[in-house]
C-alpha cells in the first residue's frame, strides 16, 4: 500500500511538472513579438520587443564594444563549462556510435518518408508557382510593351529604383529560402549598415512586387502595425525635380497599395515632398511588425493527422516490401545451398 501511494505521488508530481512546463511554453510563445525599425536623418535604429522587454539590436549589438563584450563572455563560458561540456559531448558521441548501426535502417525508412512528403510539398509549390507565373506574365508583357512604346517615342522610362539595393534584398530572400542562416545574417547586417534613401524605395518596390497575391493562414497572423514613409525628392532644377517626383510616385504609391491590399496592415502612409532647393534626396521610414509565435504554428495543427496517416501508410507499405525482399533473399540463399 505504501509503495502504491509513493508511486501515485511520483506520477502526480511528474504530471504537475509537465503541465507547468507546457503552460510556460505556451505562455512564452503567446507573448507578442514586435520588430521595429526606424531610419531618419541618416540614422538607423533597429530593436525587438518581447512583451514589455526591449532588446536593442542595431547599432548597439554591432558596435566594436559589444563584440568585445560578447567575445569576453564566451571566453568565460568556455572556461567555466568547457570541460564538463566536452565530457558530456564525448559520452553522447560514444552512445550515438553504439546505437548507430541499430538505428541505421530506421533512419533510412524515416528518410524515405521525409522524401515522399517533400516530393508532395514540391509538387504543390510547383503548381502554385505556375499559377503565379500565369498571373504575372500578362502584367510583365504590358510593362514591356509600355517601355517599348516609350522608347520608340524617344521618352524612355528611367528606373528610379536603385538596382544595387534591390539585388541586396533579393540576395537576403534567396539566403533565407535556402535556410542559410549565417549568410542571411551577414547580408541583413550589410543591408542595414548601408541603409539609405535608395534602400527605402528599393524596399517598397520589392515588397510591392512580392505581395501581388493574398496571404495564407500564417501570413495573416503577421501584422504590420506601422509602415510610415517620408521622402523628400530633389533634382538639378525645378523641371528635373518634378519629373523625378512623378517617377518615384509611379513606383511607390502602387507598391504601397499592393502592400495594403495583400498584407495585414494597420497604419500605412507615404508622404512625398518635392524640394527644389535641396542638393540630394532624403527620406525616413518607420516600421513595426508584430506577431505571436504560437499563432504562427496553429495553422499547421490540422496537417498533423493527415501527415501521420500518410506516414503510417507509407511505413506499412515499406515494411511489406522489406519483408518480401528479405523472404526472396532467404529463398535464393537456400536454393544456392
Model confidence band, residue 335 (pLDDT cutoffs 50, 70, 90):
low
pLDDT, tens digit (0-9, with 9 covering 90-100), for 165-189: 888 888 888 887 777 777 888 888 7
Cα-based angle 200, 203, 205 (whole degrees, multiple of 5): 110
CB count within 10 Å of CB 99 equals 10
| Residue 19 in grid coordinates | 503541465
Enter the pTM of the model: 0.56
Q: What is the rounded distance in angstroms from the CA atom of residue 175 to the CA atom of residue 192?
A: 16
- 265 phi and psi angles, rounded to 5 deg: -115, 155
pLDDT, tens digit (0-9, with 9 covering 90-100), for 79-138: 776 667 667 667 766 766 666 666 666 666 677 777 777 788 778 877 776 776 676 566
pLDDT, tens digit (0-9, with 9 covering 90-100), for 308-325: 666 666 667 767 776 766
User: Which of these, 297, 286, 289, lies nearest to 33 by C-alpha position?
Assistant: 289
Model confidence band, residue 149 (pLDDT cutoffs 50, 70, 90):
low
pLDDT, tens digit (0-9, with 9 covering 90-100), for 240-251: 788 788 888 888
| Residue 95 in grid coordinates | 552512445
Could you give the percent of the chain with pLDDT greater than 70? 69
Q: What is the mean pLDDT of residues 259-269?
A: 81
Domain boundaries, the chain: 33-87+208-316, 106-157
pLDDT at 165: 84
CB count within 10 Å of CB 255 equals 22
Q: What is the rounded distance in angstroms from the CA atom of residue 253 to the CA atom of residue 267?
A: 15
Mean pLDDT, the chain, whole residue set: 75
Q: Could you write out the DSSP letters of every residue in 41-91?
A: TTEEEEEEEETTEEEEEETGGGSHHHHHHHHHHHHHHHHHHHHHHHHHHHH
Note whether 31 and 51 are within 8 A (CB). yes
| Residue 148 in grid coordinates | 517599348
pLDDT at 21: 92
| Residue 301 in grid coordinates | 495543427
Amino acid at each position: 500500500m505504501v509503495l502504491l501511494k509513493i508511486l501515485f505521488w511520483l506520477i502526480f508530481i511528474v504530471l504537475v511538472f509537465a503541465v507547468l512546463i507546457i503552460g510556460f511554453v505556451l505562455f512564452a510563445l503567446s507573448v507578442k513579438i514586435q520588430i521595429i525599425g526606424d531610419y531618419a536623418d541618416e540614422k538607423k535604429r533597429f530593436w525587438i520587443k518581447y512583451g514589455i522587454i526591449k532588446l536593442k539590436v542595431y547599432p548597439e549589438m554591432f558596435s566594436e564594444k559589444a563584440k568585445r563584450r560578447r567575445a569576453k563572455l564566451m571566453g568565460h563560458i568556455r572556461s567555466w563549462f568547457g570541460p564538463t561540456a566536452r565530457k558530456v559531448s564525448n559520452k553522447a558521441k560514444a552512445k550515438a556510435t553504439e546505437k548507430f548501426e541499430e538505428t541505421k535502417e530506421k533512419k533510412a525508412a524515416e528518410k524515405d518518408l521525409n522524401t515522399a512528403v517533400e516530393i508532395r510539398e514540391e509538387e504543390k509549390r510547383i503548381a502554385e508557382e505556375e499559377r503565379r507565373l500565369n498571373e504575372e506574365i500578362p502584367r510583365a508583357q504590358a510593362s514591356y510593351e509600355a517601355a517599348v512604346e516609350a522608347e520608340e517615342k524617344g521618352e524612355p522610362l528611367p528606373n528610379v529604383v536603385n538596382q544595387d539595393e534591390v539585388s541586396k534584398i533579393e540576395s537576403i530572400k534567396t539566403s533565407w529560402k535556402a535556410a542559410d542562416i549565417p549568410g542571411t545574417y551577414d547580408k541583413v547586417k550589410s543591408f542595414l549598415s548601408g541603409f539609405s534613401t535608395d534602400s527605402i524605395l528599393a524596399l517598397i518596390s520589392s515588397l510591392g512586387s512580392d505581395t501581388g497575391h493574398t496571404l495564407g493562414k500564417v501570413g495573416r497572423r503577421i501584422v504590420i502595425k506601422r509602415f510610415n514613409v517620408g521622402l523628400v525628392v530633389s533634382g538639378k532644377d525645378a523641371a528635373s525635380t518634378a519629373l523625378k517626383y512623378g517617377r518615384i510616385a509611379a513606383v511607390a504609391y502602387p507598391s504601397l497599395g499592393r502592400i495594403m491590399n495583400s498584407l495585414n496592415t494597420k497604419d500605412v502612409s507615404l508622404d512625398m515632398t518635392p524640394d527644389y532647393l535641396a542638393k540630394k534626396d532624403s527620406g525616413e521610414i518607420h516600421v513595426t511588425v508584430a506577431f505571436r509565435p504560437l499563432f504562427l504554428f496553429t495553422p499547421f495543427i490540422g496537417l498533423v493527422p493527415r501527415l501521420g496517416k500518410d506516414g503510417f501508410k507509407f511505413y506499412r507499405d515499406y515494411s511489406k516490401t522489406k519483408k518480401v525482399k528479405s523472404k526472396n533473399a532467404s529463398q535464393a540463399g537456400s536454393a544456392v545451398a
